Amino acid sequence: MLVVMKHGATSNDVEGVVRAIETMGYGARPMPGEQRTTVGLVGNDGRVDEGRLVGLTGVLRVIHVSQPYKQVSREWCEENTVVELDNGVRIGGGDLVVMAGPCAVESREQILETARRVAAAGATVLRGGAFKPRTSPYSFQGLGEEGLQLLAEARADTGLAIVTEALDTESVGLVAEYADMVQIGARNMQNYSLLKAVGRAGRPVLLKRGMSATIKELLLAAEYIVAEGERRVVLCERGVRNFDTHARNLLDLTAIVTVHELSHLPIIADPSHGTGARSKVGPMARASVAAGADGVMIEVHPDPAQASSDGAQSLTPAQFDELMVDLEAIARTMGREIARAPAATIAG
Amino acid sequence: MLVVMKHGATSNDVEGVVRAIETMGYGARPMPGEQRTTVGLVGNDGRVDEGRLVGLTGVLRVIHVSQPYKQVSREWCEENTVVELDNGVRIGGGDLVVMAGPCAVESREQILETARRVAAAGATVLRGGAFKPRTSPYSFQGLGEEGLQLLAEARADTGLAIVTEALDTESVGLVAEYADMVQIGARNMQNYSLLKAVGRAGRPVLLKRGMSATIKELLLAAEYIVAEGERRVVLCERGVRNFDTHARNLLDLTAIVTVHELSHLPIIADPSHGTGARSKVGPMARASVAAGADGVMIEVHPDPAQASSDGAQSLTPAQFDELMVDLEAIARTMGREIARAPAATIAG
Amino acid sequence: MLVVMKHGATSNDVEGVVRAIETMGYGARPMPGEQRTTVGLVGNDGRVDEGRLVGLTGVLRVIHVSQPYKQVSREWCEENTVVELDNGVRIGGGDLVVMAGPCAVESREQILETARRVAAAGATVLRGGAFKPRTSPYSFQGLGEEGLQLLAEARADTGLAIVTEALDTESVGLVAEYADMVQIGARNMQNYSLLKAVGRAGRPVLLKRGMSATIKELLLAAEYIVAEGERRVVLCERGVRNFDTHARNLLDLTAIVTVHELSHLPIIADPSHGTGARSKVGPMARASVAAGADGVMIEVHPDPAQASSDGAQSLTPAQFDELMVDLEAIARTMGREIARAPAATIAG
Amino acid sequence: MLVVMKHGATSNDVEGVVRAIETMGYGARPMPGEQRTTVGLVGNDGRVDEGRLVGLTGVLRVIHVSQPYKQVSREWCEENTVVELDNGVRIGGGDLVVMAGPCAVESREQILETARRVAAAGATVLRGGAFKPRTSPYSFQGLGEEGLQLLAEARADTGLAIVTEALDTESVGLVAEYADMVQIGARNMQNYSLLKAVGRAGRPVLLKRGMSATIKELLLAAEYIVAEGERRVVLCERGVRNFDTHARNLLDLTAIVTVHELSHLPIIADPSHGTGARSKVGPMARASVAAGADGVMIEVHPDPAQASSDGAQSLTPAQFDELMVDLEAIARTMGREIARAPAATIAG
């Protein structure tokens, strides 16, 4: 931590900062410069409260050198975390994991047909919302537990693992009973009660980046989950808020590289929500793989024009088949394969 | 709703759109232009699902003319909503309501001293967090129910109404027992389970704008609460995400004017979180009043250097006293007064 | 300047950084911490090139403590700069300067009528574009020198000073011949050739903040002008890019406070471009004054519906009359007056 | 164009709009809805001025259906524009064009060594700044004409085409004498005088997207150049402003897909400026190719630690060699090759 003094700070002011730091049990190193003096704090164990320093006379601002997240950081654990789901698919282990399915579970036929088609094309995880967070209270809010049951049926039928969203602390237990991986959506990335609850639910977690969350905030949200004991956290880049309206969100693929540098957790990309438009999903899925994502999540619907939500960004099964060929080719240029699910093979 | 056809769309494509609209029970009006044809949908009652139209051949995009929010809109109710708290203070009734207090309740002495000082200066609502949403799991998370009890004690002592945040569906009932107004924080603006729960809690609600929420999303979040039966909703502008780092957030005062145009709900401003720096709170509080805010919420702490959170943006009681003089003077130029609390007067 | 080492940096790496700093002629102070070591650079005169340090083994990043702007900084000159125009009006001297006029000069009648009306209402500077930067090449681009002549005629008639925009290095001399203050528009804030040219043109400059410029970039743009010898620079906040579409831009009034803290230059606000909508101009002009702006710039047009550009954000003369009453009242609560022009009084 | 009436607009108001539209020579189609009436304008040739309509009583807002850009639009010309440089390399013709070189030309040795290395690795265009736009007036501003001469020498030596930036209308002629393609930088994207000048300079143009420019604004900037007669325009995505600080800019790869949908002009990506960090350049260059970019522009410096600008984002020649292998592999999965320069082969 570095305390930057104002231009006109007196030597008394500097002395006051030094004393305050020493009172807290750390060392202080004043460094005079042409424009201003700065005081370095030596021996910071990450628990120094800057509030004790910003209020002192002559202090301009405090600069943090250490990051506030710990267990999720690359420095805490150099080796990549690999999250293994119940069907044996491993996220973060080098191969490219493909998750696919409709935005929402709408009916038995819809989810079974989609599951079979995406499994046949090489996906190993089925996505589909049973509880839907909708911007308007008057929009379709999902089938609830019936949706979870239909997902479980699709899993039994195809060997796909299931990822589906939990919206609140009440339902997280129910979702965890059915799902192989519990999703926390972008709108809930800083819903700390939910993060704590999912950290105790005993299931791997897919944590989506918030609408305008910094990477630091994303990692701190993951830290909430890990701090509760659940280390199997997969992050997901799904686009951030943007001033342009040509795409629904701005898919920030550089975030994949940044997360890999700062953290040992795997990160996937969701080009469907990340662009909001069918014609852009394929190119951005390919780009996600080329940027080094550990997986991609793609919305697929047997009849997008009839989808109850997000139809405009869903691929048809035939479009998804074509995309899988491209993704595999790009993965191979990087020495990677599409991840297979050992358990699924047995079930199939 | 307007369906915009692609440049090369054929008359068959246009005919297909017309048929689809008529099948849904509405009228269709094709309008040929130089660049492209558009098809207007006549008689829209707000329930048309664009998903049925965007998938059709030749369709470029769909433009919404109506807003998806209803009960919170100015068109639903022309007259301003006035939210009256238990101590008689009225928000949205013309006078300027001042809410003040520390970021978090820290101790009996701290909250009582603050309450007495801000009440003496003319505030009528006491703010203070008992449950704190913190970016890091390792930061102070609030005193919990003990904090609520201390707030209640401060209310009994001063006649101030109390506003404090609820973080999840489990605790919203508890918070509603103690608080005169339940706050939903920026991070939870799209936590729909919480919005529904607070809409049934029987207390007025203070809804803060999310970190990068559009005005439309803010009004839809309020619609969730109103749809559950609670019409006493006060909105709060508290700054949005920003590319510059000179201020913690970018306080969007134009939002106050926009909300007043689009909605009958009152809106206040929070220049403390909106700027994150003590030296900027005063000027932006004054600007909020001049822009027409129905109230302001100001962080005040008896000893900001010792605050457990947000010390850097808290005013001292003496600074708050001075600010109140300025706010009253500006309010009067607009024919407004600082709101008094009839009940508080009796209690005092 | 502070060099932050990677977590796993060796003592050899730290030694390498120390040597590099000492080779550059500065002192080095290593500070070991729990997570990482940092090395402070002592005696920085603002000319250290971080490129020499970021490439060294074990270096994570370099943190700048000093600001790159110099002559425009408050630390360079504590006293406020006051910019006096030829008609005697002083910007930054405490009183509130009101600049008003149409977006573009369209005709003799239009500019003369507007000038008389805004002068009568208390404005002391007339705005009006003769060279217009337009997003589309097919939009009206201004009357050119004829527009400048009409502005000069309006000045002679009313005693108002004139501010008008220069678009390029070729025309800046011509504009400077006619104008009392030369405006550099938001799109040209980082057009460094133009900044240098206007810095040598011998006229006070009104420099508008770029569409997404940080305060640091705004001050560095001003530094370009001052470095050429022209110290009479007035800054202008006119709204920044934004993810919401309810307003054309997001007027960042906190920038006024920030600029006053960091720089001695005056800063005004332009709520017309800052909001883009007539109904929002009045409230945000009032807010600008309450936030401490040294002046405001307001678009006024005798018949906004017929304006060749920006009609939607122009006030009528009658609306401007009303606004002036409000602005004067708010200014007075802060001990300020609407600035008068001594020369104009004589001319009137 | 669609005129949206206010909720309470009377039939007289609607009639007024209809009359105004008919007076302008177009047809009007009123469409009553539950919430409001809208009036469609039929026969719009792109020249309707909304200012005539927004001022009318009862009008809420005007929605544009057509885009303001014309000659650059896909609808104006369905076939892709292919820009051929003097060494025979073709941009937009299917193959992937690689441009590489230092941020700035610093010396004869530096530019010649870099040119040889990047040519050997397969690049066909050499980048390098002779006139540098720098945020601070005190930073290195480039070698000027000497830099251009060194670039020409490197061209003669290697057969590479040259792209270099023009900063103002005075120097655009000089730059055009030396360069095969004239670059307009992000800060000048809306410097309309410069756009017009470069449109008459007789050279292909590389137009970089502005710091926070929408795609519409980027295409309108290109329209300025094309409107002057120069159709050989290549666009460049180089990252936009962002609230996160982990990367210098936010590289918006979806923009590549959007531009290909809306325009016939080629678009390349600049992952060096788009990320600002060496470790992120490779992954994002690969992602750019996978997203469908017509080319990439990469900063390469023989000794990044000694670079006069942007050293932190420059690759070493060895890193560039490795990257070229990856880019070629990804291009081939999409049926594309790295573009060769026929003329360069002869020269080599």
Residue C194 lies in a domain: yes
Q: C236 — phi, psi (to 5°)?
A: -145, 120
Q: What is the pLDDT of residues B182-199, one digit of tens each?
A: 999 999 999 999 999 999
CB C218 within 8 A of CB A218: no
Residues C40 and C100 in one domain: no
Q: Which of A182-196, C8-22, D135-149 has the highest mean pLDDT?
A: A182-196
pTM equals 0.93
Residues C185 and C229 in one domain: yes
Q: What is the pLDDT of residues D182-197, one digit of tens each?
A: 999 999 999 999 999 9
Q: What is the pLDDT of residues C248-303, one digit of tens each?
A: 899 999 999 999 999 999 999 999 999 999 999 999 999 999 999 999 999 999 99
Single-letter code of the amino acid located at A256: I
| E strand spans, chain D | 2-5, 27-32, 37-42, 59-63, 83-84, 90-91, 97-101, 125-127, 161-165, 181-184, 205-208, 233-237, 267-269, 295-299
Q: What is the pLDDT of residues A283-324, one digit of tens each?
A: 999 999 999 999 999 999 999 878 877 778 999 999 999 999
Residue C347, pLDDT > 50, answer no
Number of CB atoms found within 10 A of residue B78's CB: 9
Q: Give the C-alpha separation, A300 to A315, whole Å.
A: 5
The rounded mean pLDDT for chain C is: 92
Q: Does B137 sit within 8 Å of A220, measured CB to CB?
A: yes
Alpha-carbon dihedral angle through residues C167, C168, C171, C174, given to the nearest 10 degrees? 70
The average pLDDT across A185-192 equals 96
> What is the reported pLDDT for B344?
55
Residue C87, pLDDT > 70, answer yes
| DSSP characters over B76-94 | T--SPP-EEPTTS-EETSS
> What is the reported pLDDT for D343?
62
> What is the reported pLDDT for C346?
44
Which residue of C lies nearest to D242 if distances are taken between CA atoms?
A: C212
Is the backbone of residue B186 left (phi > 0), alpha (psi -120 to 50) or beta? alpha
Please tell me which residue, C307 or B281, carries the higher pLDDT value: B281
Residue D68 lies in a domain: no
Percent of residues, chain B, with pLDDT higher than 70: 97
The average pLDDT across D305-334 equals 92
The average pLDDT across B246-273 equals 96
Chain D residue numbers with beta carbons less than 8 Å from the beta carbon of A250 are 240, 250, 252, 254
The rounded mean pLDDT for chain A is: 92
Q: Categorize the per-residue pLDDT at A346 as very low, low, confident or very high, splitting at 50, 70 and 90.
A: very low
> What is the reported pLDDT for A83?
98
State how far the alpha carbon of B277 is from the alpha carbons of A258, B292, C213, in Å.
Answer: 29, 22, 21
Percent of residues, chain C, with pLDDT higher than 70: 97
Q: Categorize the per-residue pLDDT at D348 as very low, low, confident or very high, splitting at 50, 70 and 90.
A: very low
> What is the reported pLDDT for A45?
62
Residues B92 and B178 in one domain: yes
The average pLDDT across B34-41 equals 82
Please give the angle made by the CA atoms of A161, A162 and A168, to the nearest 5 degrees: 150
List Cβ neighbours of A134 (8 Å cut-off, separation of 6 or more). A140, A141, A309, B192
Q: Give the C-alpha separation, D119 to D124, whole Å.
A: 6
Q: Does B308 sit within 8 Å of A134, measured CB to CB?
A: no
Chain C residue numbers with beta carbons less than 8 Å from the beta carbon of A242 are 243
Q: Categorize the per-residue pLDDT at B46 as very low, low, confident or very high, splitting at 50, 70 and 90.
A: low
What domain count does chain B have? 2
Chain B residue numbers with beta carbons less than 8 Å from the beta carbon of A308 are 51
Q: Give the C-alpha separation, A189 to B210, whole Å.
A: 12
Say how many CA atoms lie within 13 Å of B309 toward its Cβ: 23
Nearest to A291 among D247, D258, D287 (CB): D287
Residue D72 lies in a domain: no
Residues D245 and D335 in one domain: yes
Q: What is the pLDDT of residues A120-171, one digit of tens each?
A: 999 999 999 999 888 888 888 899 999 999 999 999 999 999 999 999 999 9
Chains A–C, number of C-beta pairs less than 8 Å apart: 86
Chains that touch C (3 or more CB pairs under 8 A): A, B, D
Chain B residue numbers with beta carbons less than 8 Å from the beta carbon of A304 are 51, 55
Q: What is the distance between the terminal CA atoms of chain D, rounded to a whole angstrom?
A: 56
Residues C20 and C154 in one domain: no
Residue C58, pLDDT > 60, answer yes
The rounded mean pLDDT for chain B is: 92
Chain A residue numbers with beta carbons less than 8 Å from the beta carbon of C9 are none
Chain A residue numbers with beta carbons less than 8 Å from the beta carbon of D261 are 279
Q: Does B256 sit within 8 Å of C247, measured CB to CB?
A: no
Q: How far is CA A29 from the centre of its chain?
A: 39
Residues D40 and D181 in one domain: no
Q: Give the C-alpha separation, C208 to C185, whole Å.
A: 5
Chain D residue numbers with beta carbons less than 8 Å from the beta carbon of B68 are none
Q: Does D292 sit within 8 Å of A290, measured CB to CB?
A: no
Residue D87 lies in a domain: yes
The 3-state DSSP class for residue C185 equals coil
State how far the alpha carbon of C3 is from the alpha carbons of A42, B302, C8, in Å.
Answer: 14, 37, 15
State how far the alpha carbon of B226 is from the alpha carbons of B77, B194, B207, B213, C168, in Å.
Answer: 13, 13, 12, 18, 54
> What is the reported pLDDT for D47?
65
Q: Give the C-alpha separation, C165 to C155, whole Å.
A: 16
Nearest to D55 among C56, C138, C305 (CB): C305
Residue D78 lies in a domain: no
Residue A211 lies in a domain: yes
Place of tokens 């000159």: C77
Q: Which residues of chain D approach chain B closer than 8 Å at the C-beta?
A: 2, 4, 7-8, 27, 29, 31-36, 38, 40-46, 63, 65-67, 74-75, 241-243, 245
Lowest mean pLDDT among A320-329, B175-184, B317-326, C131-140: C131-140
Residues D21 and D141 in one domain: no
The average pLDDT across B43-70 equals 78
Residue D45, pLDDT > 70, answer no
The average pLDDT across D243-247 equals 87
Q: Categorize the per-residue pLDDT at B341 as very low, low, confident or very high, splitting at 50, 70 and 90.
A: confident
Q: Does D51 sit within 8 Å of C307, measured CB to CB?
A: yes
Q: How far is CA B77 from the centre of its chain?
A: 18
Residues B12 and B152 in one domain: no
Bridge partners, C268 (sequence order): C236
Chain D residue numbers with beta carbons less than 8 Å from the beta carbon of B242 are 243
The 3-state DSSP class for residue B165 equals strand
Its sign, for the CA torsion A284, A286, A287, A293, is positive
Q: Which of B137, B127, B230, B226 is nearest to B179 (CA)?
A: B127
Residues B58 and B124 in one domain: no
> What is the reported pLDDT for B68?
84
CA distance D3 to chain A (A): 21
Helix axes C215-227, C192-199, angle to 10 degrees: 50
Q: What is the pLDDT of residues C91-128, one digit of tens each?
A: 999 999 999 999 999 999 999 999 999 999 999 999 99
Residues B29 and B155 in one domain: no
Residues B255 and B203 in one domain: yes
Q: How far is CA B307 from the centre of its chain?
A: 25
Residue D73 lies in a domain: no
ipTM: 0.92
Residues A255 and A164 in one domain: yes
> What is the reported pLDDT for B343?
62
- Domain that includes residue B174, residue range: 83-347
Which residue of B lies nearest to C328 if distances are taken between CA atoms?
A: B333
Q: Give the C-alpha separation, C168 to C191, whole Å.
A: 9
State how far the alpha carbon of B29 is from the alpha carbons of A120, B18, C14, D35, in Å.
Answer: 44, 8, 73, 17
Give the CATH number for residue D246.
3.20.20.70
Give the CATH number for residue B22.
3.30.70.1140
CA distance B346 to chain A (A): 38
Percent of residues, chain D, with pLDDT higher than 70: 97
Q: Give the C-alpha separation, C116 to C96, whole Å.
A: 20
The average pLDDT across B210-235 equals 96
CA distance B181 to chain D (A): 32
Residue A70 lies in a domain: no
Is the backbone of residue D300 left (phi > 0), alpha (psi -120 to 50) or beta? beta
Residue C47, pLDDT > 80, answer no
Q: What is the pLDDT of residues B169-182, one digit of tens each?
A: 999 999 999 999 99
* Reduced 3-state DSSP string for C54-98: HCCCCEEEEECCCCCCCCCECCCCCCCCCEECCCCCEECCCCEEE
